[in-house]
Amino acid sequence: MMITIRKLVPEDSVQLLHLQHQLDEESSFMLLEPDERQSGLQQVREMIENFMMAETSVLVGAEVDGGLVGFISLRGGTVRRNRHSAYVVIGILKQYQGVGIGTALFHEMDEWALEHQVIRLELTVMTHNDRALALYVKSGFAIEGTRVKSLKVNGQWVDEYYMGKIIE
């Protein structure tokens, strides 16, 4: 299996939108439920363009055999007081989890963050998402707190860990 990690460009809009819908369908760990995603192709294209223009944000994809199977995004602060900090979102299709894609995406994220003087990375993860939690800890994130009743998934309250990582 050949894995390619690269920044996404507007021409990836169709594949990214398809990936987002797939992730919404197959995982209850992503924020949106399957019928909630309102973005269309033009909005995804504009989102990619906005990431490309931002100094403290980046959107990276993981391809296998030419198809997009995962992504990681860093959305950085836009003012002097928080431009050193970025919020991370990652999604990988189930059939491609556990084969090193997440580790590769986080490695790319670290390299990019160092080059762009982004030293604080943060994310949230549902407390029962053991697989993601293990990846985040392996990638250097630490639990900084718990967001109690942060989400409601399938009628049940779900707590989230707030995690952070300092890159120096």
Helices 130-138 and 101-115 cross at an angle (nearest 10°) of 40
The mean pLDDT value for 112-118 works out to 95
Say how many C-beta atoms besides its own lie within 10 A of residue 42's C-beta.
9
pLDDT digits (tens, 9 = 90+) for 75-90: 999 899 999 999 999 9
- 57-85 exposure pattern, b = at least 16 Cβ within 10 A, e = fewer: bbbbbbbbeeebbbbbbbbbbeeeeeebb
pTM: 0.93
Domains and CATH numbers, the chain: 3-119 (3.40.630.30)
pLDDT digits (tens, 9 = 90+) for 30-56: 887 778 777 888 999 999 999 999 999
Q: Is 131 exposed, middle or buried (0-12, 13-18, 19+ CB in 10 A)?
A: middle
- Position of tokens 């994220």? 109
Mean of the per-residue pLDDT values of the chain: 94
